Structure 1
């Protein structure tokens, strides 16, 4: 099927969906985005995603050229235009075209782009057997330099860590923060289970506050599982009973090995499986 791409209120065929090569989103990574999942024709937690998009934009002094209500309608219209009941949305807002140079205030036409398509981030076998991870030497951006809570178009920090993972034969890598604590993976948040307690790094560890991360924390509390947002180190991963990752594209996916060390018994654990099942029920009820 030829997907229709939304740009500034109009739909274009994929081959005709274009923006200027002078767009500062391309030239400098100056822009923000959200990745969202479609389940049974509904965008999962759309309003939370849009609120985070607006916060990211405000943090970089980028004015989104429409209301949140209008963009809500446009996202849903893009899903309908592409006939998707299950899939993925990439919503992008760039600074727009401007002259060469860093000055963002010389850009006057922010571009709003919505791509809706199918996605398969990991093969199904990884959900049943678990991922292998490696710790990257590339640390997460220092939060005093660029807040990881801004979901910006500049993902080079994550990409460098991703390259390390791929070169080590792993499709995900754990990134540490400037204090040597576990932050997150290149595209996902990380959770551990030890003695029945679910832990994940806190927001001030230098992480993106994931929508799926928060949903899983809510599900855990509802299921009576003790949860803690607490700093953690690689040692905590090495001795954990279970480990799993969360993200809009990844959903809930177990990890069973890191740095050639087996996590737990080397299989997806019972808490991971329980929360994965609860998450799948949640998204199809939304």
Structure 2
């Protein structure tokens, strides 16, 4: 069965799923997107993703020409057209065709397209053994310049940090904010675990540090609370990363993946920790058994 792309209300082959070179999404990265996962025929947190998409669009004064219900149905239609029970969904909304100037209000109408495909962000062995990451010298965008809570199509800030990771021979990098505190990784949210009074506490950076409010991040936080774990959002430094007992990343594509080394420092005993493994198992049970769509 050949692939089908949903483009402005029609399912078309990939070679016909084209946008004009004058589209401001291409010219300026002017648009918003969501990465979504389907498990066993159910779309994980579909409406939560769509609400974030619409909030991102409102923040940049981009009017999406479909309702949330219509886009939810379009996602399901695209999954069915590609005959997939499991897969990765990329939903993009560009500003549309305009002039070569920056003025977004010259654009005629947004372009909306949905891709359903497979994705494998990290090799399977890294989920078992843990991955190594580095700290990037590229600083996360200042939150007063471009809010990290807007999931825009301009990912150059993240890409530059990703290049640093690849140049260092690893697959992910931690990005610090303009104050030197930990923000997030190039495509994932970050958590550490440290013991306090003999009990594990799960720490993560506050949203004001320059953090995208991750859908998987929120789901994992809920699972941690269900397990009786204490969670705190506090400013973290590289020292906190280096001295953590455990570390893990979360993201739609990454799901939950352990980190066992940062900047050459071994985390804990160099193996995925108990809290990380328990949350990994809980997340996979959640999505495989009956992935919630809201």
Give the 3-state SS of the residue equivalent to 2:77 in structure 1. helix
Is residue 223 from structure 1 mapped to residue 227 from structure 2 by the alignment?
Answer: yes
Matches within 5 A, 1:139-158: 139-158=139-158
1:95 corresponds in structure 2 to 95
> 1:23, 1:95 within 8 Å by CA — same for their partners in 2?
yes
1:276 corresponds in structure 2 to 280
Alpha-carbon distance in structure 2 between the residues aligned to 1:258 and 1:157: 20
2:134 corresponds in structure 1 to 134
Alpha-carbon distance in structure 1 between the residues aligned to 2:123 and 2:166: 15
Alpha-carbon distance in structure 2 between the residues aligned to 1:80 and 1:65: 22
Alpha-carbon distance in structure 2 between the residues aligned to 1:158 and 1:16: 29
> 1:202, 1:231 within 8 Å by CA — same for their partners in 2?
yes
- In the alignment, structure 2 segments of 5+ residues that lack a partner are none
Q: TM-score, normalised by structure 2?
A: 0.96
Give the 3-state SS of the residue equivalent to 1:199 in structure 2. strand
* Runs of 4+ residues over 2 Å off in structure 1: none
Give the 3-state SS of the residue equivalent to 2:261 in structure 1. strand
Tell me the matched-pair count: 286
> 1:175, 1:182 within 8 Å by CA — same for their partners in 2?
yes
Q: TM-score, normalised by structure 1?
A: 0.99
- In the alignment, structure 1 segments of 5+ residues that lack a partner are none
Alpha-carbon distance in structure 1 between the residues aligned to 2:154 and 2:163: 16
Give the 3-state SS of the residue equivalent to 2:160 in structure 1. helix
1:167 corresponds in structure 2 to 167
Q: CA deviation at 1:2?
A: 2.2
Q: CA deviation at 1:231?
A: 1.1
Matches within 5 A, 1:188-227: 188-195=188-195, 196-227=200-231
> 1:243, 1:254 within 8 Å by CA — same for their partners in 2?
yes
| Match for residue 270 of structure 2 among 252, 256, 266 | 266
2:250 corresponds in structure 1 to 246
Give the 3-state SS of the residue equivalent to 2:65 in structure 1. coil
Alignment root-mean-square deviation, CA: 0.6
Alpha-carbon distance in structure 2 between the residues aligned to 1:41 and 1:15: 26
